[in-house]
């Protein structure tokens, strides 16, 4: 699974937002609807699948292997408290790529041993997206995580804005994921393009 540049997250049922993120250069679109019941998530994921099919963008479903399979997503993204990666692989086989969230070097090293298709790492800076965020890691720790990941692409996440994106890319991170700084911007396209082209 090729990961590079701006990694977008669709956090609501909003086709216009999905298209704006993709038009601005996102090559990956993750459906992450919280809170949301299963039917809500499926409805958003089906819409995102249609938009991604039309635009050639990869679709990722957050947390839910079952929904990812049901909507023919390209990948599922798992958190530290979600289904274990080996169990997800046993269910999905080769039908889904798998991304794994990590929040410290120990988790990165553990993830590398399991060979996910990519690793998300953060939060790099303070973030308001999560109610109970993990401790801020910072740029230096991100650089170490990228080195530890080796050939596995790292997606940096957490508090990233156009103002600090250049320093994030300088660590060797393959991609940047920003939710609030893009989805809640007055000009979503401009914010996304700023992250995609740094």
CB 159 within 8 A of CB 134: no
101 tagged catalytic? yes
50 tagged catalytic? no
3-state SS of the chain?
A: CCCCEEEEEECCCCHHHHHHHHHCCCCEEEECCCCCCHHHHHHHHHHHHHHHHHHCCEEEEECCHHHHHHCCCCEEEECCCCCCHHHHHHHHCCCCEEEEEECCHHHHHHHHHHCCCEEEECCCCCCCCCCCCCCCCHHHHHHHHHHHHCCCCEEEECCCCCCCHHHHHCCCCCEEECCHHHHCCCCHHHHHHHHHHC
Choose the catalytic residue: 27, 32, 64, 193.
Answer: 32
Q: Encoding tokens for residue 10? A: 């669709």
Choose the catalytic residue: 20, 27, 49, 101.
Answer: 101
130 tagged catalytic? yes
Active-site amino acid positions: 32, 101, 130
């Amino acid at each position: 699974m090729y990961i590079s540049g701006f990694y977008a997250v669709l956090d609501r049922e909003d086709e216009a937002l999905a298209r704006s993120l993709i038009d601005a250069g996102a090559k990956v679109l993750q459906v992450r609807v919280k809170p949301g019941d299963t039917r809500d998530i499926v409805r958003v994921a089906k819409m995102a699948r249609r938009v991604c099919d039309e635009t050639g963008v990869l679709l990722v479903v957050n947390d839910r292997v079952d929904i990812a399979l049901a909507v023919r997503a390209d990948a599922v993204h798992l958190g530290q408290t979600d289904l274990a990666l080996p169990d997800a692989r046993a269910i999905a086989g080769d039908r889904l790529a798998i991304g794994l969230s990590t929040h410290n070097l120990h988790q990165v090293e553990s993830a590398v041993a399991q060979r996910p298709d990519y690793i998300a790492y953060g939060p790099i800076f303070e973030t308001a997206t999560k109610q109970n965020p993990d401790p801020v890691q910072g740029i230096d720790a991100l650089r170490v995580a990228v080195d530890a990941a080796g050939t596995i692409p790292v997606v940096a996440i957490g508090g990233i804005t156009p103002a600090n994106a250049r320093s994030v890319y300088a660590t060797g991170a393959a991609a940047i994921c920003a939710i609030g700084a893009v989805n809640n911007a007055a000009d979503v396209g401009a914010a996304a393009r700023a992250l995609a082209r740094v």
